[in-house]
Chains A and B, each alone.
Chain A
Amino acid sequence: MNDQQRTRFGEALQRLGGDEETMEMMATIVTEDAPKVLERWSDELQAKDLDAYARTGHALKGLLSTFETNEPVSRIQPLIDDARKNDVAAVRTSHASVVPEIDELLSEISAIL
């Protein structure tokens, strides 16, 4: 990890007791798992399966929150709430804007490796 990454993910590193090795291990897992979860999430919206969409959103939020608890991860919960309310239109609008931000976060995480 370089200094910039240490600052960028300072809170996450602190939660892990400053252990950079664990941080890198987490980055590996998230880099491997998150794209698949993200893809499934989009598919579930496409299929209008909002129950599954809410569950996957919850899993995605858990996975990414190891690195980031603010935006864009904090934007996932309102999406889960809208999905539980079966509000497809609201979910579609927010989903479209949050996915690119999550992609960007994933790039930052994979850069740790």
Chain B
Amino acid sequence: MPKLLVIDDDRAILAIAERTLSPIADVVTASTAGDGLKKLRSTPFDAVLLDIQLPDQNGLAAFCEIREYDRRIPVIFMTVEAASETAIEAMQLGAFDYIAKPLSVDPLRDLVEKAIEQRQISSVPVAISADETAADKSAELFIGRSPAMLEVFKAIGKVAKQNVPILVRGESGTGKELVARALFQHSHRADETFLAVNCAALPDNLLESELFGHEKGAFTGAESRRIGKFEQCNGGTLFLDEIGDMAPTVQAKVLRVLQEQRFERVGGNKELTTDVRIIAATNRPLEQMVSDGDYREDLLYRLNGVTIDLPPLRDRLSDVESLIRFFLAQAKLEFNKPDLEGLSPDAVKSLTNYEWPGNVRQLRAVVRRCVLDTVMPVITPEVLPTEIHNSPKSNDSTTDSETVEKSEESGTQLPQLVRRLLQERSTNVYAEAMEYMESYVILQVLRSTGGNQSQAAETLGITRGKLRDRINTYKIELKSDVVVKENE
């Protein structure tokens, strides 16, 4: 039977603990810190219930001695002032939890059971250790030895020093910007400027001004001349992310820079020259967009002379362990968790079985979140987000949100969706909420135009290509009525 040590100078508390917890543990009591620490050193315990104010020693000081002796023992503080700064300090020091006095027996029993369970799970040797030296060994991009990633490394090596435009393709979160940076760092331009622009983050007119600059008075609000990124980056490398989300006018100007290295500022007549290497990235189907008339074919061919395809993480699950090791070491240093030992085998199993729809970015966020959340030296499956912990092999976790998205009156359940994602400790709240909102807006606008995509695109203020892309993404069917396909 597990052993529990209860340290409190209040006889009533010791009596409650003995009476309530004896069915689940051998309860040993001590009324001073000194007595408790003596008992702790002579017998192995699975958890400790510790009063925050003891007659011979402050509970926090006693806690530090317990940790020094055995940092794996979960310590639960008991305090009359649950919201006190001492309780907060206890949690910051690494206490397992704290419980308010007067004690309620049911929550007390649940908490002690949880602590004992944690102690047992975290006594299992770690499957992946949190070794700080792994944090600075190499850049995140170069982690992994899967065949797919080896092809990426080879491609970077082959083309980095060639002065040609490069198109990096891959799903969101696969690390396209990291590839762009690696290409830059290994190029002849490594000592020059590297700038990144997200083409999807700016409205078309602002994007044009951002890239090419503008003359004073070019448009309302243009109070002075502004230098654009192509000028600013002369001699360097410009990373154009989300290149598929670019208006035709901007596409034409970018094409001209690629062909002739020439351009004009918005509202200007003077032709300027620049020497910029362009690295572009997208997760959009550019060839389909060309067929649909939404993307310039000549620009696509200029851009994709050399293409690097980044595989989604689900296609290189053998790299997950290495990535976890790297992110774990980084987070351990960043969040100052010197006691963190690593991940339990079960936690690693859950992580390596998951399909990672948000790719490496999601994995990084999950590992960081776990390091922040854990109060034990070993991260166990309980600390993982629900969608990973409960359904490692399936996409069941998305079923609810898909149901919400596909409900006929979608759009009404955003607060519920966000609440559920928060409860599940999702690490993809922003993306899921934005997808939900976007599908709702597009569906409503398409309904208002009777399915007319040109009108809908105009109303939405996006290109027809982007609208078509979203229609495919959200499986919107354009029949006599606009509906979302079910069961897909």
A residues bordering B, Cβ < 8 Å? 12, 14-17, 19, 22, 25-26, 29-30, 33, 55, 58-59, 61-63, 65-66, 69, 77
CB neighbours of B202 from chain A (8 A) = none
Judged by a CB distance under 8 angstroms, whether B10 is at the interface is yes
Contact partner, B80, options A14, A17, A30, A61, Cβ 8 Å = A61
B residues bordering A, Cβ < 8 Å? 9-13, 15-16, 19-20, 53, 55, 80-81, 101-106
On whether the beta carbons of B12 and A16 are closer than 8 Å, the reply is no
| A17 in contact with B102 given A59-B9, A65-B80 (CB within 8 Å) | no
Contact partner, B106, options A17, A22, A58, A66, Cβ 8 Å = A17
In the complex, A77→B10 CA distance in Å?
17
| A66 in contact with B102 given A58-B53, A59-B10 (CB within 8 Å) | yes
On whether the beta carbons of B102 and A65 are closer than 8 Å, the reply is yes
Contact partner, A62, options B10, B20, B104, B105, Cβ 8 Å = B10
Interface of A, secondary structure class, is: helix
In the complex, A61→B81 CA distance in Å?
10
- In the assembled complex, how far is the CB of residue B61 from the closest CB belonging to chain A, in whole angstroms? 15
14 A-B pairs with C-beta separation under 8 A? A16-B16, A16-B105, A17-B105, A22-B20, A22-B105, A26-B12, A29-B11, A33-B11, A33-B12, A55-B55, A62-B10, A62-B13, A63-B12, A69-B102
In the complex, A25→B14 CA distance in Å?
12
On whether the beta carbons of B80 and A62 are closer than 8 Å, the reply is yes
Closest B residue by C-beta to A69: B102
On whether the beta carbons of A66 and B53 are closer than 8 Å, the reply is no
| A15 in contact with B105 given A22-B19, A58-B80, A62-B80 (CB within 8 Å) | yes
In the complex, A62→B103 CA distance in Å?
10
CB neighbours of A62 from chain B (8 A) = 10, 13, 80, 101-102
- In the assembled complex, how far is the CB of residue B437 from the closest CB belonging to chain A, in whole angstroms? 44
CB neighbours of B102 from chain A (8 A) = 12, 15, 62, 65-66, 69
| A29 in contact with B53 given A15-B102, A17-B105 (CB within 8 Å) | no
Contact partner, B10, options A55, A63, A69, Cβ 8 Å = A63
On whether the beta carbons of B16 and A22 are closer than 8 Å, the reply is yes
